[in-house]
Each structure stands twice: as structure tokens, then as C-alpha cells.
Amino acid sequence: DAEITQSPRHKITETGRQVTLACHQTWNHNNMFWYRQDLGHGLRLIHYSYGVQDTNKGEVSDGYSVSRSNTEDLPLTLESAASSQTSVYFCASRGTNTEAFFGQGTRLTVV
Amino acid sequence: GQQVMQIPQYQHVQEGEDFTTYCNSSTTLSNIQWYKQRPGGHPVFLIQLVKSGEVKKQKRLTFQFGEAKKNSSLHITATQTTDVGTYFCAGRGLTGGGNKLTFGTGTQLKVEL
């Protein structure tokens, strides 16, 4: 069965360190997204990609970057982790005008 | 940019009571989707509405898309403890939205026995 997986599931890092969260999907979807979830804010879009070599900024992109070198993967990098980036991160993928499939989430704590 | 708000933010109900969450977009939507996230879980797709004024039902859940395609609602009849979770609407803009979804702020539902 097709799936979307995130790793790690939990991560504790120190302020200022670079952190990369992995997202891998086997749906063969062109569209992939990274969201962060915080109480009172719902799911906010960080970055998204519509295909290989395509990346776009979402509403809360500062301090984050992504790259898309193949269809299956969209890693999210925090260049210099800050306490404000403590959150739960969800990766999602979808086809054209179809439902989105979410990964299990990564709980990131920046200390 | 496009904004999607949901009310209420939280709702406590007794089992058997009805529940409704409302979703309002700042712009006209091409379609709207609803997702449910159980505590500690990830959002899971429930349904998509496309047509103006569309109403769809899934057992005790009724979904509506407004005539102007800027608002939507989810109504649960006779809630059960299995309905506990956060309900999100997500909209795709009519113009310039591409394939990205803008999620609402979510409504957290708690059901007490």
C-alpha cells in the first residue's frame, strides 16, 4: 500500500543547530507540503512543492528551507533552530484536486 | 493571502448532543475539504465538497458548502465518544491557489459521557 512517512517521530535539539526532518511518500504525488501545528493556529503552511526542482514558500517560511530532488522526498531543514520552532510538523502529499495524505508527524523540541 | 477561520475553537458536549463547526474563508473557494484529527494523531480526510450549496452526509455527519462558496459547516448528530478530535476545514482558492490547501484553525471537540 502507498504511504507517507516522516522521520524522526520525536526530536530534541539545541538552539542554533541545523535540523532536517524527512518526509517520504510512495503515492507518486507531485504535490508535497510541510505544515506546522501549534495550539490556536491550526495547520500553517511552511513550504510546498508541485514537482521535482519546484519549491515555494508558505505563510510561515522564515527559518525553514526545503529541496525536491525526486518525487518521493521533501526534506524540511531548519537552518538554525529557535525555540519558536518548537512544534509538531506534518508532511502531506496530494494529487491534483484530491485528498491530502498526512504523515504521522514529527514532534520537535528546541531547547 | 487567503485566510480560513473556524468557530468555535473548542466545544464540550455531552454524549448524544449535536455539534456544529463553521468554516469561513476570506476568498471564494474552488472546493472545500474536511479532515479529522484524533488526539495524538494526524489529520485524516473525511470529504470534499465542490458545488455551490452542496450537502453531503456520512452517517451522523452532514457537510454543507455555502452558496457563495466562501463558507462551510460540519454537523454531527448525536455525538459519540468516538467523535472526539479536532475537525479542520481546508480550502483551495478559486484563483491562484494552485494545489495547496489552506487549513482552518480547527475546532476541538470533546465528548463527555
pLDDT at B100: 85
Which region, left, alpha or beta, applies to residue A42 given φ > 0 means left and ψ of -120 to 50 means alpha? left
Would you state the pLDDT for residue A75? 98
Cα distances from B22 to residues B41, B94, B107, in angstroms, run 22, 20, 9
- Contact flag A50-B98 (C-beta cutoff 8 Å): yes
The C-alpha of B59 sits at a distance from chain A's nearest C-alpha, in angstroms, of 20
Tell me the one-letter amino acid at A56.
N
pLDDT single digits (tens) A11-52: 999 999 999 999 999 999 999 999 999 987 889 999 999 999
- The sign one gets for the Cα dihedral A101, B76, B8, B72 is positive
B27 interfacial to chain A (CB closer than 8 Å)? no
Q: How many percent of chain A have pLDDT more than 90?
A: 92
Q: Which residues of chain B have pLDDT under 70?
A: 94-97
Number of domains in chain B: 1
pLDDT at B92: 84
Q: Which domain holds residue B63?
A: 4-112
Which amino acid is residue A86, in one-letter code?
T
The CATH number given to whatever domain includes residue B76 is 2.60.40.10
